[in-house]
Amino acid sequence: MNIIFLGAPGSGKGTQSALLVEKHQLTHLSTGDMLRAEIAAGSALGLQAKAVMDAGELVSDEIVIAMIAQRLSQATGVLFDGFPRTLSQAQALDALLAEKGLSITHVIELKVDSEEIVSRLLARGRADDNEQTIRNRLNVFESQTKPLVDYYNAQGKLHSVVGVGSVDEIHAQIERHLS
């Protein structure tokens, strides 16, 4: 299985990824986690990414595609969390997988309304979880990432799940789509 979690910031991608990775022994590739690791390490890339992330904008396609390409060479059975986020990233991922004779098997869309997201993220309080940045992240999601719903629906790979309710119930619904 090669799975993508598609959903707005705070829709529960990271939370649900952790459950699936453990159950199905998948490699978890989160571009957000990779970028935060670069920031923590104080690398040049991290410094560049921090300003972009703090503003709630997207880091360049070139940087995130290179990070994924580097890790994909050793991976089998991957869960992509927060990647792809643009049409260019989705097309690059399809090409990278095709080189290995692989493809995406499932795209799980987590649907959560904006006000629920704002209250979840304000309660969490990560560096990019202030109201102004959250609202910009939501706008960026609508304009740049939401079109991927149509992209994967056209490939017959899209599974939509309501991401509101208990974490276990949402996980159970995702499992039903995977089986």
Site string for ligand AP5, 92-121 (x = CB under 6 A): ----------------------------xx
158 beta partners: 107
Q: Does 9 bind ligand AP5 (CB under 6 A)?
A: yes
Pair 102, 2: CB distance under 8 Å: yes
The secondary structure of residue 59, as a DSSP letter, is P
Sheet arrangement for strand 106-111: 27-30, 78-81, 3-7, 106-111, 158-162
Active site residue 120: no
Nearer Cβ to ligand AP5 (48/156): 48
User: Is residue 52 within the footprint of ligand AP5 (CB under 6 A)?
Assistant: yes
176 assigned to active site: no
| Residue from 19, 10, 151, 155 nearest 87 by CA | 151
Contact 16, 171 (CB under 8 A): yes
Is 10 a binding residue for ligand AP5 by CB under 6 A? The answer is: yes
Catalytic residues, which ones? 13, 85, 124, 126, 137
Contact residues for ligand AP5, defined by CB under 6 A: 7, 9-15, 31-32, 35, 52-53, 56-59, 64, 82-83, 85, 89, 120-121, 124, 137, 167, 170
